[in-house]
Amino acid sequence: MTQHLATHDQGPIEAGRLTVVPANEASWEDLDAIFDANDARRCRCQRFKVAGWFWRDTTLEERAAMLRAQTACDEPDAPVTSGLVAYVDGEPAGWVAVEPRTAYVKLRTSRIPWAGRNEDRDDDDVWAVTCLVVRRAYRGRGLTYPLVRATVGFARERGARALEAYPMITRAGKEITWGELHVGARQVFEEAGFAEITHPTARRVVMRIDFAS
């Protein structure tokens, strides 16, 4: 796919211009374009995937290969994938990671998901939204809202019993970098129907949707 971004277009993205697809239905070239010119270039959405010391135990090339294998990009018949890709007017614009919570080994030991909770950490039926990446040309245009909304149906259709996330609280006048906000903002998940279940730190909350059986 050719990629000629219309940087002069900075308004809200109309629904008719937006398409969100499972990552296996997207090309690796498109997903790589979203990550390559972005703060997420080095991480490649592997922060919660690597069991050891992230920067010591993996290289950028290894992390890129891991993401490609996890997403199964260019494989539309693949039985599983690890996220969704957003297109605006056919151009790759954003990514959201969503899959069973057990896929993220670092979540097992992180304080944030479990503070004040007594829950089975090996429950494959609970899914998690862990990362949002928006290509620079599309930032500030509300793209994270439809991306998060799309995770709800995606997880439910694939058998999830619940879907949770670990977003940040944003406050007027307080600057937050895109690197910090890769987990998403609380108001984005509220709009998608998530409810806050715990507030483990001053700036982070755990939010969740439980699906009817």
pLDDT in tens, 29-45: 999 999 986 668 889 99
Cα distance between residue 164 and residue 141, in whole Å: 24
Identify the bridge partners of residue 167 per DSSP, sorted by sequence position. Answer: none
Mean pLDDT, residues 158-178 taken together:
83
In this structure, is residue 140 part of a structural domain? yes
In this structure, is residue 3 part of a structural domain? no
In this structure, is residue 10 part of a structural domain? no
Strands (E), the chain: 18-22, 83-88, 91-100, 126-134, 162-165, 195-198, 206-210
In this structure, is residue 153 part of a structural domain? yes
Quote the DSSP letter at residue 19.
E
Q: Any idea what the CATH number is for the domain that residue 177 is in?
A: 3.40.630.30
Residue 105 has pLDDT above 80, yes or no: yes
Domains in the chain, number: 1
What residue numbers bound the domain in which 42 lies? 19-210
In the prediction, which pLDDT does 146 show?
97
- Give the model's confidence band at 145: pLDDT under 50 very low, under 70 low, under 90 confident, else very high: very high
In this structure, is residue 145 part of a structural domain? yes
In the prediction, which pLDDT does 123 show?
96
In this structure, is residue 104 part of a structural domain? yes
